[in-house]
Amino acid sequence: MSIPVNLAELGEALGRHHTAYLLSGRNGRPHVAQVFPQLVGNVLVIVEPGRTARRTVPELPEVTVMLPPQDAGGHTLIIDGDARIRDDGALELTPTHAVLHRAAGHASDHDRLEQVKSGGRFLAARGSLAREVWIGDDFEFTDAELDEMLDQ
């Protein structure tokens, strides 16, 4: 299950994760390094990206930063973007896409959409999804659309 992250809200999403890994490419194989990204304006800055990233990013600038969840069953933050190595050796990543991802088979019973029928029909979210789902009584969904959302 993937939840798109608005790039304007990336700082908030980064604040919920404490560990990060930079995935860069080389010879068709990914290279993984633990890093400590900082959001500066609209870019991620990684002061110490590692020797391999400094060597490969100029040729292969498309990279991914993956931030695993703090808790079992949580969402992994995945940020794709275009990187460059600055003159000071730091990696600067311009995000192009970000998602919160969790395998569907690991969905917690606490994190699901529910259809509530109490006078009006609306959707509610429990658990960590409560931050990602709009809650209200003015949604216009067909029964088929509601069923599809509840089955995710």
Write out pLDDT tens, residues 64-111. Answer: 999 999 888 889 999 999 999 999 999 999 999 999 998 766 545 444
Torsion of CA 102, 103, 108, 113, to 10 degrees: 80
Fold of the CATH domain 2-104 = Pnp Oxidase; Chain A (2.30.110)
**Which residue ranges does the chain devote to CATH 2.30.110.10?**
2-104
pTM for the full predicted model: 0.69
Question: In a 3-state reduction of DSSP, which class is residue 132?
Answer: coil
Task: Tell me the pairing of strands 120-125 and 113-118.
Answer: antiparallel
pLDDT at 46 over 60: yes
Q: What is the mean pLDDT of the chain?
A: 79
DSSP E strand stretches across the chain: 2-4, 20-26, 29-35, 38-40, 43-46, 62-67, 76-85, 91-101, 113-118, 120-125
Considering just the CA atoms, what is the radius of gyration of the chain in Å? 19
Q: Measured between alpha carbons, how far is 93 from 43 in angstroms, rounded to an integer?
A: 6
Q: What are phi and psi of 11, to 5 degrees?
A: -60, -40
How many Cβ atoms are within 10 Å of 6's Cβ, its own excluded?
9
Residue 116 clears pLDDT 60, i.e. is over it: no
